[in-house]
Amino acid sequence: MPAQLGTPPASALALAAAYRSDQTDPVAVVDRLLERIGALDAEVGAFVTVTADEARAAALSARDALRGSGADALPPMFGVPTALKDLTPTAGVRTTYGSAAFADLVPETDGSIAVRVASAGMISLGKTSTPELGLPCYTEPDVAPPSRTPYDLSRGAGGSSGGAAAAVAAGLVPVAVGSDGGGSVRIPASSCGLVGIKVSRGLVAGTPEEIDVSGLSVPGTLALTVGDAAAMLDVVALTGSRMLDACGRAPGRLRVARFCDPVISELPPDPEVVAAYEETSRLLERLGHDVVDVDPPFGPDTVSAFETAWFVGAASVDVPPEREELLRPLTRWERDRGRAATGVEYAAALLAMRQAEQRTLEAYAGYDVVLTPTLGQLPALVGSLRDDADPVADFEAQKGFTPYTSVWNIAGAPALSLPTGWSRAGLPIGTMIAGKPGAEPLLLSLAAQVEHECSSRGNPWRRPRTVMTDR
């Protein structure tokens, strides 16, 4: 391991500021990050494809632009390195969708997120790992090693944006983009000690080819700090500086609803998860907010509708018939379930989810924010959720691990996981705040307040240094 590897580079916003004050430049930063990827990624499993040559070329161009006469007009995140989830099509760069069935796929065009990241002048270092078709909540694809949380390499980074979270947590990139159809940004954020936000339905417009009929899947961002996550969201959502500006405003006194009862599983949450949730509740009360216990928004009927929509979505992915046999047992089982659903059943499932959305928003209309744990359990051991011999057991284990996150995909509302807790063994525990559709600025304002409070009290908001990430 190179002795000069040192500590991870600065945050995204700090890098952007350092460029403009000539303290460093994109070429030096990209070279350093590529060195870290070469040294650490075999352990972390963050990347499926590293685009080193393309990143170095982009860094040279960015350095020249930053030194040019028009530097003041460049976008705020210009030259900052990032990475794209391997569900995002990238022209000329392999996009596997986490599946052996697409192991050699090279798209001809970029997806909308790739276009926006490039338009902001950010530099992609490659494609981050995702489970097959983005379906499981663990990232253990056939096309790459498992993605692991840097806090304990025996445990997974979560999914489906597991590679993105592992990359940020290990200091391989300062900020990354993910997607979230049932928790796929917030699950790995919790497992890797990060800030992870999924946006409101409709905030980020995609191309016609990217439309999700179920309305479940939306983009999101992963970062070490609230400010970085907000700045990246401004890039993805084309909101100027609206999200970042919100981090500098006090949220005011808020009414916070909270519940800890699992929504989609009967497995009780881990006691350390509950303890972190209780501590965050007390923190919010110290900040002057009113915290009130409420019931979960819906029950098993809505869970069944969500599953029908999820399975039909899995079945809708166009896989060449001759490559179906390369899919994982879980994926084939989900696709079979989706194909078995009739059009009437699918329509009924979509209706049930829209009705649950309305009931959820009405139930919490009198509150500004809803607080829950992010996950029901501590970061899972690699392989402990996956069960190729029994896909039904696999799916049920995933539900027990993630009993809260899909509520907000169904409701179409924004939700944000914050790294406010740590287990006795030093594992990260996320707490989730959610709000009304369009409430991203309020959530980010509250998150920044919580971040400041944690930092001022010595709470290790940022990841504790580990042997692996400090080498």
DSSP annotation of 169 reads H
Close Cβ partners of 64 (under 8 Å, ≥ 6 residues apart): none
For residue 265, what are the CA distances in angstroms to 116, 147, 356?
A: 37, 25, 17
Cβ count within 10 A of residue 185: 35
DSSP annotation of 208 reads G
Active site residue 85: yes
Q: Nearest to residue 83, comparing CAs of 35, 34, 141, 39?
A: 34
| Active-site position among 11, 85, 124, 200 | 85
| Active-site position among 99, 129, 179, 184 | 184
CA geometry: angle at 319 spanning 317 and 320, to 5°? 155
| Cα–Cα distance for residue pair 450/287, rounded to 1 Å | 8
DSSP annotation of 3 reads G
| Active-site position among 11, 147, 160, 161 | 160
CA geometry: angle at 430 spanning 310 and 306, to 5°? 15
**178 DSSP β-pair partners:** 220
DSSP annotation of 464 reads P
Sign of the Cα torsion 439, 442, 446, 451 reads positive
In this structure, what token pair is assigned to residue 271?
Answer: 């006691």
DSSP annotation of 41 reads H
| Cα–Cα distance for residue pair 238/233, rounded to 1 Å | 8
| Cα–Cα distance for residue pair 232/247, rounded to 1 Å | 13
Active site residue 179: no
DSSP annotation of 361 reads H
Class of residue 315 by CB neighbours under 10 A (exposed 0-12, middle 13-18, buried 19+): middle
| Cα–Cα distance for residue pair 182/133, rounded to 1 Å | 13
| Cα–Cα distance for residue pair 468/170, rounded to 1 Å | 8
DSSP for 103-134, written as a single string: TT---SS--HHHHHHHHTT-EEEEEE---GGG
Active site residue 417: no
Amino acid at 443: L
In this structure, what token pair is assigned to residue 56?
Answer: 């170095």
| Cα–Cα distance for residue pair 130/124, rounded to 1 Å | 16
| Cα–Cα distance for residue pair 117/428, rounded to 1 Å | 29
DSSP annotation of 355 reads H
Task: Point out the residues that are catalytic.
Answer: 85, 160, 184
